C-alpha cells in the first residue's frame, strides 16, 4: 500500500516538475511528510533534487527533508546548494544530524558551514565533531532535558511545560550541581506523587548510561536489550553530555547490518558512494573474487594431483559439484549464524566451545541425511556399492567439516580484530571447496581397488 502511494506521488511530482508548475509543486510538497519527500528524492537526479528542496515551503520542513536523505546522496546534494541556503538548512537541523553532514562534506565546505552557524549551534556541533563518528559521543544529541536533584515535583512539571527547545522528552534525567548524572524519572512518576516531593526522593539512582567513547554498535545492543526509548551519554567523570534516542539507534543498526551484508558479499559500503562508477565498484569487489580465484586454482591442483584416481574411476567426476556445493552452502549457513551471533551479542568467546560442538552435531545430522541420499543415487546410477559408500562417506565428512569451519574461521577473524562478516561468503566457501575435494578424493583413493 505504501509503495503504491509513493509511486503515485512520484508520478505527480514528476509531471509538475516537467511542466515547471512551481506554485503547484510548493503546495504539493507542503502536504507531504518530510520522510516521504526524502524517499522520493532517490528517483530524481541531483539537479532535480536541488529544485525540489528549494520548493519545500517552510525552512524547518526543508531541513527535516534534508536530514532524512541517505547520507551518501546528502553530501552530494549539499555541494550543489547555495552556501547561504545550506547554512540555513544546517542551522535548522538537530546538532547530531548537522555533525554527520559536516563530516561527510569536503573539508573546506564543512569548515565554511561550521563557521557560518550561530554560536550556540556551532559550539554543540563542534563538540560532537570532536568525538569519533562511530562512538556514542559521535551520534548523541546535546539537547538533553535535565533537572537539578533539589527541585520539587511541582517545579519539575513547570520546567517540562516550558521545555519547547527540546524535540522530545522521553525521560527526566536528574543531575547534581556539577552536572553529574545521579538519577532518572519517568513522566508517569512525576504525575503520581505529591507536588512538594523533592526529585532526589523519588528518582531511580541506578541509571543505565553509556560513555562518550563506547562503540555505537554496543550502544544499539544496550538499547535493544533493555527496550528503552533513549539512553544518556556521560563522560569519564559521569557528567551528562548528551542523549541517544531510539531513532538514532535504528539508524546505527541499519548501517551496521548494511555493512555486514556488504562485507559478506565481498564488498563494502564505500561502493554506495561511487554510484554508477564501474571501475571504482569493480576495484572494491575484486579482492575477494581473486581470493575465490586462487581457491579455484588450488581445487584444480588437487584434482590434478588425484588424476590417477579419476582416470581409473571416471564415474567419480559425477559427484564433484555435489560435494563442493553442499560443503560451501553448509559453511555459508554456519558462518552467517555465527556472524549474526557475534553482532547481536548472543555469541561470545566464552561459549565458542559449546557453539562449535552444536554446529558439529548439526553438521553430522545433515551430512548423514544427505550422505545416505547421495549414496543411494550413486548406487542406482552407477550400479556400484562402493561408489555409493565413497560418495556418502565423503558427503558426511565434508558437511561436518564445513559446519566446523564456519565456526572456526569466523571466530578466528573476530579474534584478530577483522570484521567477521568478511569471513563469510567468498572465503568460507572457497576453503570448503578445497577441503571437500580433498576429503572426496582421499576417500575414493582408499577404496580405489573396489571402484575399478
pLDDT band at 396 (very low <50, low <70, confident <90, very high): very high
Q: 186 in a domain, yes or no?
A: yes
Residues in CB range of 180: below 8 A, 6 or more apart: 237, 238, 239, 240
Give me the mean pLDDT over the 50-66 stretch: 90
pLDDT, mean of residues 411-429: 73
Radius of gyration of the chain (CA): 30
Model confidence at 126, pLDDT cuts 50, 70, 90, reads: confident
Counting the structural domains of the chain, the total is 3
Predicted confidence at residue 258, as pLDDT, reads 65
Whether 126 and 203 share a structural domain? no
pLDDT at 320: 87
CATH of the domain at 211: 3.10.580.10
Could you tell me if 70 and 10 lie in one domain?
yes
264 domain-assigned: no
* Summary count for the chain: helices (H), strands (E): 24, 6
> Does residue 105 share a domain with residue 53?
yes
pLDDT of amino acid 212: 94
Report yes or no: 149 and 200 within 8 Å, Cβ to Cβ.
yes
Which pLDDT tens digit goes with each residue over 273-331? 455 556 765 666 677 677 778 877 888 888 888 888 877 778 888 888 888 888 888 88
Domain boundary at 130, 154, 172, which?
130
Residue 239 DSSP SS3? strand
How high is the pLDDT of residue 422?
61
Cβ-proximal residues to 18 (8 Å cutoff; 6+ apart), any chain: none
pLDDT of residue 261: 62
10-14, 271-275, 389-393 — which is least confidently predicted? 271-275
On whether both 109 and 166 belong to a single domain, the answer is: no
Asked if 8 and 119 sit in the same domain, the reply is yes
pLDDT band at 45 (very low <50, low <70, confident <90, very high): confident
Taking 3-state DSSP, the helix, strand and coil percentages for the chain, each rounded to the nearest 5, stand at: 70, 5, 20
- State how far the alpha carbon of 364 is from the alpha carbons of 309, 368, 379, in Å: 27, 6, 22
Whether residues 277 and 391 fall in one domain: yes
Q: Greater confidence, 92 or 166?
A: 92
Stretch 155-161: mean pLDDT: 88
Residue 20 belongs to some domain of the structure: yes
Please provide the average confidence, as pLDDT, over all residues in the chain. 84
Lowest mean pLDDT among 157-161, 171-175, 340-344: 340-344
> How many C-beta atoms lie closer than 10 Å to residue 441's C-beta?
23
Asked whether residue 370 carries a pLDDT value surpassing 90, the answer given is yes
User: Residue 297: which CATH number?
Assistant: 1.10.357.20
Residues paired with residue 231 on neighbouring β-strands, in sequence order: 244
Residue 52 has pLDDT above 60, yes or no: yes
Among candidate residues 145, 98, 148, the one with its CA nearest the CA of residue 120: 98
pLDDT-above-70 percentage for the chain: 88
Average of per-residue pLDDT across 87-107 = 86
In this predicted structure, which of 135-139, 375-379, 421-425 has the lowest mean pLDDT?
A: 421-425
Can you give the pLDDT at residue 232? 93
Q: Match 594431483 to its residue by C-alpha cell.
A: 305
266 has pLDDT over 80: no
326: in domain: yes
| Side-chain half-sphere CA neighbours of 320 within 13 A | 17
Domain co-membership, 80 together with 8: yes
- Does residue 140 form part of some domain? no
Q: What is the pLDDT of residue 239?
A: 94
Any bridge partners for residue 204, and if so which? Answer: 184
Do 121 and 15 share a structural domain? yes
Q: Quick one: pLDDT band at residue 8, thresholds 50, 70, 90?
A: confident
Shared domain check, 337 and 400? yes
Q: Residue 429 falls within a domain, yes or no?
A: yes
pTM: 0.63
- pLDDT average, residue stretch 29-33: 87
Q: Is residue 79 situated within a structural domain?
A: yes
Residues 214, 83, single domain; the answer is no
Does residue 257 surpass a pLDDT of 70?
no
Residue 260, pLDDT > 70, answer no
Confidence band (pLDDT; 50, 70, 90) for 23?
Answer: confident
Asked which of 72-81, 121-130, 278-287, 430-439 is least confident by mean pLDDT, the reply is 278-287
C-beta separation of 414 from 430 below 8 A: no
Going by C-alpha positions, the residue among 72, 6, 4 that lies closest to residue 33 is: 6
- Give the domain range for residue 94: 2-130
Per-residue pLDDT tens for 193-233?
899 999 999 999 999 999 999 998 889 888 888 888 889 99
**35/164 same-domain check:** no
Q: Is residue 136 domain-resident?
A: no
- Kindly state whether residues 312 and 343 are assigned to the same domain: yes
Q: In this predicted model, which residue has the larger pLDDT, 356 or 308?
A: 356
Amino acid at each position: 500500500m505504501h509503495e503504491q502511494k509513493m509511486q503515485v506521488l512520484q508520478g505527480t511530482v514528476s509531471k509538475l516538475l516537467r511542466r515547471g508548475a512551481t506554485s503547484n509543486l510548493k503546495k504539493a510538497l507542503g502536504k507531504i511528510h518530510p520522510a516521504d519527500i526524502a524517499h522520493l528524492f532517490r528517483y530524481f537526479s541531483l539537479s532535480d533534487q536541488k529544485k525540489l528542496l528549494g520548493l519545500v515551503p517552510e525552512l524547518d520542513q526543508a531541513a527535516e527533508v534534508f536530514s532524512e536523505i541517505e547520507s551518501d546522496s546528502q553530501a552530494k546534494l549539499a555541494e550543489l546548494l547555495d552556501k547561504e541556503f545550506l547554512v540555513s538548512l544546517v542551522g535548522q537541523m538537530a546538532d547530531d544530524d548537522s555533525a554527520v553532514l559536516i563530516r561527510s562534506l569536503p573539508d573546506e565546505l564543512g569548515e565554511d558551514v561550521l563557521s557560518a552557524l550561530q554560536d550556540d549551534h556551532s559550539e554543540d556541533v563542534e563538540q560532537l565533531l570532536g568525538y569519533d563518528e562511530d562512538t556514542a559521543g559521535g551520534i548523541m544529541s546535546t539537547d538533553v532535558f535535565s533537572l537539578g536533584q533539589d527541585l520539587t515535583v511541582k517545579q519539575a512539571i513547570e520546567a517540562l511545560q516550558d521545555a519547547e527547545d527540546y524535540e522530545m522528552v522521553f525521560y527526566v534525567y536528574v543531575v547534581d550541581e556539577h552536572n553529574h548524572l545521579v538519577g532518572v524519572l519517568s513522566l508517569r512518576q512525576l504525575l503520581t506523587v505529591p507536588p512538594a516531593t523533592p526529585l532526589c526522593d523519588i528518582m531511580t539512582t541506578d541509571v543505565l548510561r553509556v560513555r562518550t567513547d563506547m562503540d555505537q554498535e554496543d550502544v544499539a545492543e544496550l538499547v535493544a536489550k533493555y527496550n528503552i526509548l533513549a539512553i544518556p551519554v556521560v563522560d569519564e567523570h559521569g557528567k551528562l553530555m548528551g542523549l541517544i534516542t531510539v531513532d538514532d539507534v535504528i539508524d546505527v543498526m541499519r548501517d551496521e547490518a548494511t555493512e555486514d551484508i556488504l562485507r559478506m558479499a565481498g564488498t563494502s559500503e564505500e561502493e554506495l558512494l561511487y554510484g554508477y562508477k564501474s571501475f571504482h565498484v569493480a576495484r572494491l569487489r575484486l579482492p575477494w573474487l581473486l581470493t575465490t580465484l586462487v581457491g579455484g586454482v588450488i581445487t584444480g591442483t588437487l584434482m590434478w594431483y588425484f588424476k590417477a584416481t579419476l582416470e581409473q574411476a571416471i564415474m567419480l567426476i559425477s559427484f564433484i559439484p555435489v560435494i563442493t556445493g553442499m560443503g560451501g552452502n553448509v559453511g555459508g549457513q554456519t558462518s552467517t549464524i555465527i556472524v549474526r551471533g557475534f553482532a547481536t551479542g548472543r555469541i561470545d568467546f566464552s561459549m565458542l566451545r559449546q557453539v562449535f560442538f552444536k554446529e558439529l552435531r548439526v553438521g553430522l545430522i545433515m551430512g548423514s541425511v544427505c550422505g545416505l541420499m547421495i549414496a543411494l543415487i550413486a548406487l542406482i546410477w552407477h550400479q556400484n556399492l562402493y561408489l555409493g559408500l565413497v560418495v556418502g562417506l565423503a558427503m558426511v565428512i565434508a558437511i561436518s567439516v564445513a559446519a566446523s569451519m564456519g565456526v572456526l574461521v569466523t571466530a578466528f577473524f573476530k579474534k584478530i580484530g577483522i570484521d567477521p562478516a568478511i569471513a563469510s561468503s567468498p572465503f568460507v566457501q572457497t576453503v570448503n571447496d578445497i577441503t571437500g575435494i580433498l576429503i572426496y578424493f582421499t576417500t575414493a583413493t582408499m577404496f580405489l581397488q573396489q571402484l575399478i
